């Protein structure tokens, strides 16, 4: 008796977050018959057309790459159907999948989403969780349906969010967790198991709207703890910005300190080796890492070497 044919997977993803999941599909014993990803976009100072991380990884693995502008037209759906996928795995793809696309694979479409659904459906769940001060995050393996991240959850893994986590560190941890949860799902399905699909609760729905560069500006009239989260969430992009004694700088490192400043919000209260303390609407923000216009990321102490007039005794 011949062995059953391997599971045929079409993978759809675009950014670096998706790459570990593509690798998990490849090592699962399934056959990745195509990788769908966003069209090449201009990037860098020269605005040169640049392939997505998923495209680069797929080409290196010899996987056919598809880059449609949309999946809504008939020809795009016919091309997808021609791959005869058993399953479509979607990880931060960036295109909406119409109902007719969701119906093409025999087992439907799975999505790996970087939040504990129904909290933070949408485009930027990692950063929104840090901004909100959430104590934990995680990844959900979800059976896709027509709504935005509304499908039933198949598997879930959780991770605490520490006070040191940045958008970058949480991204990397969730990308690894996502690959692990996907690998488990594939292993169990290929072993003949039917995963239990648990509907998302109706209570607790929040939306993680796409990040806007305008959100990066630090408003010192707000509580310091909110600004600390902003600095952490927006590292490595779009990077928080604020004004320190008249100079606009990028702020890469900061922490809230519990103090009752007597000066107006935005005033430098103290500056020394430990950082630059700035009065906020509640408490103060101690800035520890800075980037001047056209410069590199430096410590607050090094910044004060160039702005010695700000130094104050603590």
Q: What's the pLDDT tens digit per position in 106-139?
A: 999 999 999 999 999 999 999 999 999 999 999 9
List, for residues 247-288, the tens digit of each pLDDT value.
999 999 999 998 887 799 999 999 999 999 999 999 999 999
Q: What is the pLDDT of residue 17?
A: 98
Say if residues 88 and 22 touch (Cβ distance below 8 Å). no
The pTM for the full model equals 0.95
Give residue 313's pLDDT. 64
Mean pLDDT by 10 residues, the chain (314 residues): 79 98 97 97 86 98 97 95 98 94 97 98 97 98 95 98 98 98 98 96 96 95 97 97 96 94 91 95 96 96 91 72
Pick out the residues of the known binding site: 115-118
Give dist(CA 166, CA 135) in Å, integer: 13
Which pLDDT score, from 0 to 100, does residue 3 have? 58
d(C-alpha 281, C-alpha 269), whole Å: 13
Which residues sit in the known binding site for (6S)-5,6,7,8-tetrahydrofolate? 115-118
pLDDT of residue 311: 86
Q: Rounded CA gap, 195 and 174, in Å? A: 21
**Cα–Cα distance between 101 and 92 in angstroms, integer?**
16
Q: What pLDDT sits at residue 295?
A: 95
Complete domains list, the chain, with CATH: 8-208 (3.40.50.170), 213-310 (3.10.25.10)
Residue 89 and residue 77: Cα distance in Å, rounded? 16
Sequence-distant contacts of 154-157: CB under 8 A, at least 24 apart: 154/110, 154/185, 154/195, 154/196, 154/197, 154/198, 155/181, 155/184, 155/185, 155/195, 156/116, 156/181, 157/181
Name the CA radius of gyration of the chain, rounded: 23
**SS3 per residue for 292-314:** CCCCCEEEHHHHHHHCHHHCCCC
């Amino acid at each position: 008796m011949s062995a059953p044919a391997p599971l045929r997977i079409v993978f759809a993803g675009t950014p670096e977050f998706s790459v570990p999941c593509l690798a998990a599909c490849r090592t699962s014993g399934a056959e990745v018959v195509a990788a769908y990803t966003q069209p090449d976009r201009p990037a860098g100072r020269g605005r040169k057309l640049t392939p997505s991380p998923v495209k680069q990884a797929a080409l290196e693995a010899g996987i056919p790459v598809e880059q449609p502008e949309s999946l809504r037209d008939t020809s795009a759906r016919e091309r997808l159907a021609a791959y005869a996928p058993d399953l479509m795995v979607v990880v931060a793809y960036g295109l909406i999948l119409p109902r007719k696309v969701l119906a093409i694979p025999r087992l439907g479409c799975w999505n790996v989403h970087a939040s504990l659904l129904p909290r933070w459906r949408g485009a930027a769940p990692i950063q929104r969780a840090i901004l909100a001060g959430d104590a934990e995050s995680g990844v959900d393996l979800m059976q896709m349906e027509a709504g935005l991240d509304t499908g039933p959850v198949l598997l879930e893994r959780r991770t605490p969010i520490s006070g040191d986590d940045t958008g970058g560190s949480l991204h990397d941890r969730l990308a690894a967790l996502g690959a692990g949860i996907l690998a488990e799902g594939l292993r169990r399905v290929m072993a003949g198991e039917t995963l239990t699909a648990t509907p998302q609760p109706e209570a607790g729905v929040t939306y993680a709207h796409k990040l806007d560069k305008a959100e990066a500006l630090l408003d010192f009239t707000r509580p310091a703890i909110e600004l600390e989260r902003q600095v952490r969430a927006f590292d490595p992009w779009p990077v928080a910005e604020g004004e320190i004694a008249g100079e606009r700088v990028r702020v890469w490192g900061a922490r809230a300190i519990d103090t009752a400043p007597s000066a107006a919000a935005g005033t430098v209260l103290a500056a020394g080796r430990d950082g630059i303390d700035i009065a906020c609407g509640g408490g103060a923000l101690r800035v520890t890492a800075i980037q001047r216009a056209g410069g590199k990321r430096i410590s607050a102490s090094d910044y004060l070497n160039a702005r010695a007039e700000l130094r104050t005794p603590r």
